Amino acid sequence: MQPAAAPLLANKRIAIVGAGPAGLTLARLLQMKGGTVKVFELDASATARDQGGELDLHEDSGQVAIRKAGLMDRFIQVSRPEAQVSRVYDKHGAVHMDIGIADEKVTRPEIERRALRDLFLSSLAPDTVLWGRLLSSVERMPGSRFVLRFADGSTAEADLLFGADGTWSKVRPLVTPIKPQYSGVTFIESRLSAPDTRFPDISRVVGAGTIMITSDDRAMMAQRNGSDHIRVYVILRVSESWTRSSGIDFSNAAQARAALLQPFSDWAPQMTDMLRHSDDTFIPRPLYNVPVEQSWRSQPDVALLGDAAHVMPPFTGKGANYAMLDAVELAENLTSGRYSDVAAAIRAYDLNMLKRMRESVAETMESQEVMISPQAPKGILELFQRRIRRALEQRGQASAG
């Protein structure tokens, strides 16, 4: 039975653009309070594409969202606590950092993105998510309503609009004119299938979690994704246009592999074997970030979450975690009864989210400068130790609160 709608949600048609961690978390939390919610997602279906690498959900953010959504028991069943281990090598194969589960002090179990999406999808009312809806434009109409127009010619109307539609959000211009900027770093993603049987030596080096090999202002990274494959990333400091100007045909596996191995020609072979033997798929991914300071025009009926609000490189693991925390805070503001109207609830959300993200974006860009530098891996151990101390402090503050 549908619960009675929280007062601020009563008679409101809520449109959430984007069925990533932020959008689905928000949809679940608002439906739990009786909200009438539709999620519009550009993917053709829940299984239309690979969702990317695993996420580590942090105690103070991602796990808070899971708990608020009433999904913790199921999360425990599908997550991998054994994967919260990290190791950093230099190009010669020397270990410079080895963070085990006992060293972490706070939990951050890994979960596959598809498993996380499925977890939330299964908790939503039927037909909440409308697939294959690529948003083309948003028009504000008289009477405080929005018309959403999609690439397939369909339209939808909404009273409240929440943009969780990623880096190049079509909702974002309603709130700020500032666009994300190139971070200076590009990832090229590949994968290593069936590593345990095909390449046991590589499998042992990667272990159960994530490793990074970094020297000479470039890096490689590998992340265990369950038992069937390892995600492999080449990380380069190149221009934003490099994907096009490099002359590399990324659909030609032999050419792409040879070109990507070239910058690592003086690295120890065991450190580059994961690229040498990876599957024949290479996907370049330039990384973007919002400025630390953003100009923001808080709207009475629009809010941004996740990458739409604060995209940043994945060097602290906070992107998806803070996206889910955004959803928690926005939902609580809209349903707790603390605010007299929707505009006040969104304004308070904006202020707190932007304060949190100023600190987080600055921390992330600092981490990028340390991890991908001519001096790397020098400084990375200290960086991780500071991060662990900060997480413990935040946990203590939350307990005291």
User: If we measure between CA atoms, which residue out of 19, 299, 307 comes closest to residue 146?
Assistant: 299
pTM of the model: 0.93
Write down the pLDDT at residue 85. Answer: 87
Strand partners, 297: none
Write down the pLDDT at residue 385. Answer: 76
Distance CA 267, CA 271 (A): 7
**In the sheet where 181-193 sits, what is the strand order?**
95-99, 86-89, 210-215, 218-225, 229-237, 181-193, 283-289
* Cβ-proximal residues to 63 (8 Å cutoff; 6+ apart), any chain: 57, 72, 75, 107
Write down the pLDDT at residue 3. Answer: 84
Q: Where are the beta strands (DSSP E) in 9-144?
A: 13-17, 36-40, 55-56, 86-89, 95-99, 110-111, 129-130, 135-141
Cβ proximity of 271 and 89 under 8 Å: yes
* Cβ-proximal residues to 368 (8 Å cutoff; 6+ apart), any chain: 183, 184, 185, 313, 315
- Radius of gyration for the chain, computed over Cα atoms and rounded to the nearest angstrom: 21
Write down the pLDDT at residue 396. Answer: 64
Write down the pLDDT at residue 104. Answer: 59
Write down the pLDDT at residue 392. Answer: 66
User: If we measure between CA atoms, which residue out of 231, 216, 218 comes closest to residue 275?
Assistant: 231
The tens place of each residue's pLDDT in the chain, 401 residues long, gives 678 889 999 999 999 999 999 999 999 999 999 999 999 999 999 888 777 788 999 999 999 999 999 999 999 999 998 888 889 999 999 999 988 766 556 788 999 999 999 999 999 999 999 999 999 999 999 877 999 999 999 999 999 999 999 999 999 999 999 999 999 999 999 999 999 999 999 999 999 999 999 999 999 999 998 768 999 999 999 999 999 999 999 999 999 999 999 999 999 999 999 999 999 999 999 999 999 999 899 999 999 999 999 999 999 889 999 999 999 999 999 999 999 999 999 999 999 999 999 999 999 999 999 999 999 999 888 887 777 677 667 666 655 55
**In the sheet where 145-150 sits, what is the strand order?**
135-141, 145-150, 155-158
Write down the pLDDT at residue 15. Answer: 98
Domains of the chain by range and CATH?
7-82+110-180+291-372 (3.50.50.60), 181-289 (3.30.9.30)
Q: Where are the beta strands (DSSP E) in 290-355?
A: 302-304
Q: Where are the beta strands (DSSP E) in 114-180?
A: 129-130, 135-141, 145-150, 155-158, 160-163
